[in-house]
A and B are shown apart, each in its own frame.
Chain A
Amino acid sequence: MSMLSVEGLAVSRGGLPVLEGLSFSLDAGHALVLRGPNGVGKTTLLRTLAGLQPALAGTVSMPPESMAYAAHSDGLKSTLTVRENLGFWASVYATNDIEPALKRMNLQSLETRPAHSLSAGQKRRLGLARLLVTGRPIWVLDEPTVSLDTASVALFAEAVRGHLANGGAALIATHIDLGLNEAKVLDLTPFKAKTPEEGGMQGAFDEAFL
């Protein structure tokens, strides 16, 4: 069954169309890896799917309240401890049990440390642990493995696999090989939007001023 389906989607950044004519669908238990050079619009696409910005054209359909979004920055509060940071998101998503997530991301020994004393990789692991406490079936991840070492990447791949096995789905924008051999790969380069001079779509003009 298709959890997330995208049809004819066009997205814009700063008023200029970056991607157009994008269609794909994502089934439960599957992962889709987005690839493409810098600036092709991976982040813009993911922000559009997460509902942070409107699409220029096309439709996105998924069950309501089903998506967990993880951006470049982890949204951690540096003066709160690992446990407090994670506990906050758990109560926002009304799941409340953070122990499995701490264990999964190997954060148990760090749980009383304030977030500002964590290394970049440890912060990232905490940011990814947030996904586990959301309880949402569709993960939308933007460069999830930045600053993770190989062991942590493997840990993360294991967490994604566990999520897929539980009937979840994941959409991951990344440059490196996650070791998720079962994941399909979608290269965004062919969907690059034409400029208006080449007869492409006109972006919303006033957006450039926002």
Chain B
Amino acid sequence: MIALLMRDLRLAVRAGGGFGLGLAFFLIVVTLVPFGVGPEGKILARIAPGILWVGALLACLLSLDRIFALDYEDGSLDLLVTAPVPLEGVVSIKALAHWITTGLPLVVAAPVFGILLHLPQGAHVWMVISLLLGTPALSVLGTFGAALTVGLKRGGLLLSLLVLPFYVPTLIFGAELVRRGAEGMNTETPLLMLAGITAATVALVPFASAAAIRVNLR
């Protein structure tokens, strides 16, 4: 299992691995929005939590189709399924590797990018907390979409359509948490909901993803 994680991380940082792709996309979204919306700080500060969350979500989507597709193409998915590791574990590790290469850089970069959007001073810490709690759910849910579309050529669009509805609750509670934090309101409810969604997806979705892969490999 550790070997699989190390392999996936190593592949991600080598040429063509896609590490930093999500981060670059996030940066593009965040720098373009002030040009589109106009430079008034008040408006930007109001929409900043939502923009940052939508940006993070789309950045996550961008690299989802690579989770299983590359292993499927070179045949290593077949070999992993027949290897002495549970497929549910393989899925969880793949989600973890995806989160480390996509979600974690977003969490680290969010406070800096928040400055570009005039995110209010007090909200930065909530931004980091919400992304830290929410992005694992995005990666794990993404494995389910990736597993369903694994044998399809150009499955990326279908994957996005399948996964987006599942991302909505995380988006709502994540952005709400930051908004409440910025305005100094009580943050307990969205915080608990966000953590609950992540805990539930991390616990349950790998089983669904593994089942989808088994069906697709037949």
Tally of A-B Cβ pairs under 8 angstroms: 75
Judge whether A53 and B217 touch: CB under 8 Å. yes
Residues of A contacting B185 in the complex (Cβ-Cβ under 8 angstroms): none
Task: Name the distance in Å between A155's Cβ and chain B's nearest Cβ.
Answer: 21
| Contact B17–A52 (Cβ < 8 Å) | no
Given contacts A52-B78, A80-B10, A80-B11, A92 and B16 within 8 Å (CB-CB): no
Dominant SS among interface residues on chain A: loop
B74 adjacent to A77 (CB under 8 Å)? yes
Total interface residues on B, using CB and 8 Å?
27
Cβ-defined contact, A72 with B16, below 8 A: no
What is the interface size of chain A, counting residues whose CB is below 8 A from a CB of the partner?
31
**Complex partner residue of B74 from A52, A68, A75, CB under 8 angstroms:** A75
Is there an interface contact between B7 and A77, defined as CB atoms closer than 8 Å? yes
Residue among A77, A130, A210 making CB contact with B218, cutoff 8 Å: A210
Contact string, B1-25, partner A, CB cutoff 8 A, digits 1/0?
0111001001100111100000000
Asked whether any CB of chain B lies closer than 8 Å to the CB of A50, the reply is yes
Residue from the list B17, B84, B215 in contact with A92, Cβ < 8 A: B84
Decide: A69 near B79, CB < 8 A? Known: A52-B217, A52-B218.
yes
Residues of A near B14 (CB, < 8 A) are: 79-80
CB contacts (< 8 Å) of B186 on chain A: these are none
Given contact pairs A53-B217, A53-B218, A93-B84, A69 touches B78 in the complex (Cβ within 8 A): yes
A27 at the interface (CB under 8 A from B): no
B37 contacts A by Cβ under 8 Å:
no
The docked-state distance in angstroms from the alpha carbon of A77 to that of B215 is: 24
In addition to A67-B82, A71-B78, A84-B10, 6 A-B residue pairs with Cβ atoms within 8 Å of each other are: A52-B78, A79-B11, A84-B7, A88-B4, A92-B4, A92-B80
